[in-house]
Every structure is written in C-alpha cells, then in structure tokens.
A and B are shown apart, each in its own frame.
Chain A
Amino acid sequence: AQSVTQPDIHITVSEGASLELRCNYSYGATPYLFWYVQSPGQGLQLLLKYFSGDTLVQGIKGFEAEFKRSQSSFNLRKPSVHWSDAAEYFCAVGGNNNDMRFGAGTRLTVKP
C-alpha cells in the first residue's frame, strides 16, 4: 500500500517569508498526489493535486507544489506567507486501490 512521510511536525515562519513543506511518498505505480489544509475544528480542504503532466502544479491561496519522481517528493511552496495560512497541512497519496493515505501533517505557525 502507498504511504506518505511529512518529516516536519511543526514549522514556524514569519509573515511575508517563503514557505516549503516537505512530503515524501512511497507507491509502486504512478501516484496521485494531493495537499490538503485543515483549520482548527474543520475538515480538510484541497489545496492542489497532481495526476500527470507538468510537474509544477498551482493550487488555491497562492500555493504550488512540485512533483519530483526521482526523489519521491511532492513539496508544497508559497512565496509569501500570510497570517491566515496558519493551519495544519497534509500531504496525501492515492492510487488505484480505492483508498487515500495521508501523512502525519505539518502544523504551520505564522509569526507577525
């Protein structure tokens, strides 16, 4: 089965600084990759997805992610973080086996 590793449990960045959240996946075939964001007390909201094609994908709220097959990575980036971006971020991998697996999440704190 597929699996996802998010090495960073908690990251703190200053407002206006750039952000990169790391994600590594394990899957034997071509993965379907996703990033979700969760605010306290809420469900998860899709930020972006990668299925195939261009390895740099754009999402909502100014986020982007780059798929690197050689590194089995799908890191999430944002050039300038806003205070409202403080939340928990989850990387996920889906396959053809009808379940989606999530990483442990990275909690983002934004300093004023």
Chain B
Amino acid sequence: KAGVTQTPRYLIKTRGQQVTLSCSPISGHRSVSWYQQTPGQGLQFLFEYFSETQRNKGNFPGRFSGRQFSNSRSEMNVSTLELGDSALYLCASSLETGNSPLHFGNGTRLTVT
C-alpha cells in the first residue's frame, strides 16, 4: 500500500505570494492532519480534516487554510507569505484521529525569501 505522498518536496517563494501544498493520504484513510515543523517551535498542529470537513484547528492565522476533497486528498494554502512561514509542512493520514496512529508523508520544505 502506498504511503502518504506530499507534493512538491521543495518550494521557494517570495514574501507576499501564496502557496498551495498537496497531500495524498494512504488509501482508505479518511482523516488528514497538517503540521508545521520549525526548529524553534517544533511540530505545531495546523488543522485536521475528515470526510471533507475541518474538525479541528490549531492556533494559526487565517492566512493558513485547507480543504479536503471527496477522495480524501487534501490541500493546504498559505496566503500573503511571511518569512516566518519558512518550515517543513507535514501531512499525516489516519483511519480516525484520537486513538489512531498518524502516518506521515516526507513533508514539503517551504522557504520564503
């Protein structure tokens, strides 16, 4: 069974631009979570989607948004990029959150210049 796939692996953007990251979960997984990982803040929870509905959201500004499609694939969008948005963005899928382990992709490395 294929793992979680994130595209692209690397992105370089300029301040003020917007970016869209993509995540394909493991087949059969309906929950997709997004995390931001930085050296200073560690792994920060962004949001979680299940069956196309956002069920939970972390403490990030409204510039960070996401969605999930009917095939469980998910996208994350960051608008008006800031230098501090430079990070590794990790997507994880699971059958159900809470008591189900997360299966992570290898992440998208975003650099904002």
A interface with B by C-beta (< 8 Å): 32, 34, 36, 41-46, 49, 51, 90, 92, 94-105
Considering only residues 41-74 of chain B, those with a C-beta below 8 Å from chain A are: 42-43, 45, 48, 50, 55-56, 58
For B33, B90, B99, the residue with the greatest tally of chain A CB atoms inside 10 Å of its CB is: B99
A46 vs B3: C-alpha distance in the bound complex, in angstroms? 13
- Is the Cβ of B104 less than 8 Å from the Cβ of A32? no
- Is the Cβ of A44 less than 8 Å from the Cβ of B50? no
Contact of A98 among B56, B90, B104, B105 (CB under 8 A): B56
Given A98-B48, A99-B33, A100-B45, answer yes or no on A46-B101 (Cβ-Cβ < 8 Å): yes
* Residues of chain B lying within 8 A (CB to CB) of residue A44: 90, 92, 102, 104
Main SS class of interface, B: strand
Given A43-B105, A99-B58, answer yes or no on A32-B42 (Cβ-Cβ < 8 Å): no
Q: List 26 A-B contacts (CB under 8 A).
A: A32-B98, A34-B102, A42-B106, A43-B4, A43-B90, A43-B92, A43-B104, A43-B107, A44-B102, A44-B104, A45-B104, A46-B101, A46-B102, A90-B43, A94-B100, A96-B98, A97-B56, A98-B48, A98-B50, A99-B45, A99-B48, A99-B58, A100-B97, A102-B42, A104-B42, A105-B42
* Residues of chain A lying within 8 A (CB to CB) of residue B92: 43-44
Taking the nearest CB of chain A, how far is it from the CB of B6, in angstroms?
A: 8
For B45, B101, B103, the residue with the greatest tally of chain A CB atoms inside 10 Å of its CB is: B101
B interface with A by C-beta (< 8 Å): 4, 31, 33, 35, 42-43, 45, 48, 50, 55-56, 58, 90, 92, 97-107
- Across the A-B interface, give the 10 residue pairs with the lowest CB-CB distance, nearest first: A43-B104, A102-B43, A104-B42, A44-B104, A99-B56, A98-B56, A32-B99, A98-B97, A98-B55, A43-B106
Taking the nearest CB of chain B, how far is it from the CB of A19, in angstroms?
A: 21
Given A43-B105, A43-B107, answer yes or no on A51-B42 (Cβ-Cβ < 8 Å): no
Taking the nearest CB of chain A, how far is it from the CB of B49, in angstroms?
A: 10
